[in-house]
Amino acid sequence: AGARQRQRYVEKDGKCNVQHGNVRETYRYLTDIFTTLVDLKWRFSLLVFILAYAVTWLFFGLIWWFIAYCRGDLEHLEDHAWTPCVNNLNGFVSAFLFSIETETTIGYGHRVITDKCPEGIVLLLLQAILGSMVNAFMVGCMFVKISQPNKRAETLVFSSHAVVSLRDDRLCLMFRVGDLRDSHIVEASIRAKLIKSKQTQEGEFIPLDQTDLSVGFETGDDRLFLVSPLIISHEIDERSPFWDVSRHQLEKDDFEIVVILEGMVEAT
């Protein structure tokens, strides 16, 4: 008989098939904007990254142009006796370029602020401070997103099937896990959860009840030295949720075992 197609709670690659619906207090995502940006998909993160810089450049470029317009610098472009706020600023395009040069500290030397413009000096300080904040926020967001361990998990291999067999004359649920990389995972630990519907004695139905499966917490075997592939074992004893399950019932029951491997990457 072919294997039954079941909707998984957690996919083999670690992605959770859970979607949050009917979330009314969506403003809570904006209160933690950094985590929200990190959790966005790459195309949206890059869009926000580009817009953050483009909007600030355009905004300050417009202010630089407005200052030059109010001071009359644009009306004295050919007057060498006139001291403008920014030398060689002759329109919005040049003001936009000066805004980019200021915020990115490029400093080509063609357009430069003079000391006869106090409002320009204040704006220069404000843009320098705000530009540093934008750089720190966006670069930090990109760094955290790049350093996420999603790809590192691709080289952590679990066995395709779990088996129930005798080991040291005890019935055990076993599977294997291995690391393909030479860089080790430090302080690796493993735990397992049984996801299964449950009905309490009071008649309450719990569709996704989580039960711990002991994989060596009492003895410390859940802390792994993951240098070579290891066999993880769950002993089916009186404390195990599989103690009263027969082989025939095991084939028919609808449940899922989620294995969680945690640790720190040695290189980072």
125: domain CATH number?
1.10.287.70
Contact 188, 209 (CB under 8 A): no
Q: What confidence tens digit (pLDDT) does each residue in 67-112 have?
A: 999 998 888 888 888 889 999 899 999 999 999 999 988 878 888 9
Range of the domain at 232: 152-265
Q: Is 131 found in the same domain as 184? A: no
Q: Is 174 found in the same domain as 69? A: no
- Residue 232: φ, ψ to 5°: -95, 130
Q: Is 124 found in the same domain as 163? A: no
Single out the residue in 147, 170, 190 at which a domain terminates.
147
Residue 54 identity: A
Residue 3: the pLDDT is 53
Q: Is 172 found in the same domain as 132? A: no
Render 5-51 in DSSP notation, one character per residue. Answer: P---SB-TTS-B-----S---THHHHHTHHHHHHHS-HHHHHHHHHH
Q: Is 233 found in the same domain as 253? A: yes
Q: Is 82 found in the same domain as 165? A: no
CATH number, domain containing residue 255: 2.60.40.1400
| Ramachandran area for residue 261 (φ above 0: left; ψ -120 to 50: alpha; else beta) | beta
Q: Is 38 found in the same domain as 141? A: yes
Q: Whole-prediction pTM value?
A: 0.67
pLDDT band at 16 (very low <50, low <70, confident <90, very high): confident
CA nearest neighbour of 16 among 256, 265, 262, 242: 256
Burial class of 22 by CB neighbour count within 10 A (0 to 12, 13 to 18, 19+) = exposed
Q: Is 159 found in the same domain as 199? A: yes
> Which residues have C-beta within 8 Å of that of residue 86, sequence separation ≥ 6?
64, 68, 73, 95, 98, 111, 112, 113, 114, 117, 120
With respect to residue 223, please indicate whether it lies within any of the assigned structural domains: yes
Bridge partners (DSSP) listed for residue 174: 163, 233
Residue 1: the pLDDT is 45
- Bridge-based pairing of strands 205-213 and 170-179 is unpaired
Q: Is 187 found in the same domain as 126? A: no
Q: Is 101 found in the same domain as 47? A: yes
| 19 vs 188 pLDDT, higher one | 188
Residue 4: the pLDDT is 58
Single out the residue in 129, 147, 165 at which a domain terminates.
147
Single out the residue in 147, 174, 204 at which a domain terminates.
147
